[in-house]
Every structure is written in structure tokens, then in C-alpha cells.
């Protein structure tokens, strides 16, 4: 299980992200070092819009029929030429 960040660590991460980009003598960008917990938090926050757009929430189990109906509403799925296996 991934370790979650507390509010103090999140504030420190936001400060770290706000720092200017460091470059070496050749002008190449030096990547900022992040811990695994910090990277997981960044990814989780960045994917929040995707989760909201897809309508997915944690702990929500959909039946195959419900998923099929959602796909048809979005215009994804079979054309009706063959029945769906449920």
C-alpha cells in the first residue's frame, strides 16, 4: 500500500513544484528528485479531472449491463448486430 502524504508534506511538495527549473552548464534540465509517495500524489491529483469526467468513484462496482448502458450513451459499443454476453 502506498504511503499517503499529510498536509505538511503536501505543502512542502507544492513549494518544491513551484521552484524554478534548474539547468546545468549545457542548458539541459536537471530533473527534480521526488519520493515515490510524492510522485503517487502528483499522479493522483493530475488524474482527478479524468476520474471526474469518466464518472468513476472508488468503491463503485458496476454490473456488466450498467457498463454497457454507459458505453452506449457515450456512443461506444456494439452496433446491435450481435448480443452482448452478460
Helix axes 36-46, 7-18, angle to 10 degrees: 80
What percent of the chain shows pLDDT beyond 90? 43
Is residue 34 included in any domain, yes or no? yes
pLDDT surpassing 60 at residue 57: no
Does residue 51 lie within any of the structural domains? no
Q: Is residue 36 part of a domain?
A: yes
Q: How many structural domains does the chain have?
A: 1
73 vs 21, 67, 69, CA distance in Å?
Answer: 44, 10, 6
Q: Is residue 38 part of a domain?
A: yes
Q: What's the pTM? A: 0.55
Here the contacts of 6-9 (C-beta below 8 Å, separation 24 or greater) are 9/37, 9/38
pLDDT tens readout for residues 65-76: 777 787 777 777
The more confidently predicted of residues 75 and 10 is 10
Cell of 4: 499517503
- Comparing 35 with 54, the larger pLDDT belongs to 35
Domain that holds residue 22: 7-46
Amino acid at each position: 500500500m502506498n504511503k499517503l502524504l499529510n498536509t505538511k508534506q503536501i505543502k512542502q511538495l507544492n513549494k518544491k513544484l513551484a521552484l524554478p527549473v534548474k539547468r546545468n552548464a549545457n542548458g539541459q534540465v536537471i530533473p527534480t528528485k521526488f519520493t515515490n509517495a510524492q510522485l503517487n500524489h502528483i499522479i493522483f491529483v493530475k488524474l482527478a479531472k479524468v476520474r471526474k469526467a469518466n464518472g468513476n468513484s472508488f468503491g463503485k462496482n458496476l454490473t456488466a449491463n450498467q457498463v454497457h448502458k454507459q458505453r452506449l450513451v457515450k456512443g461506444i459499443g456494439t452496433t446491435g448486430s450481435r448480443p452482448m454476453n452478460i
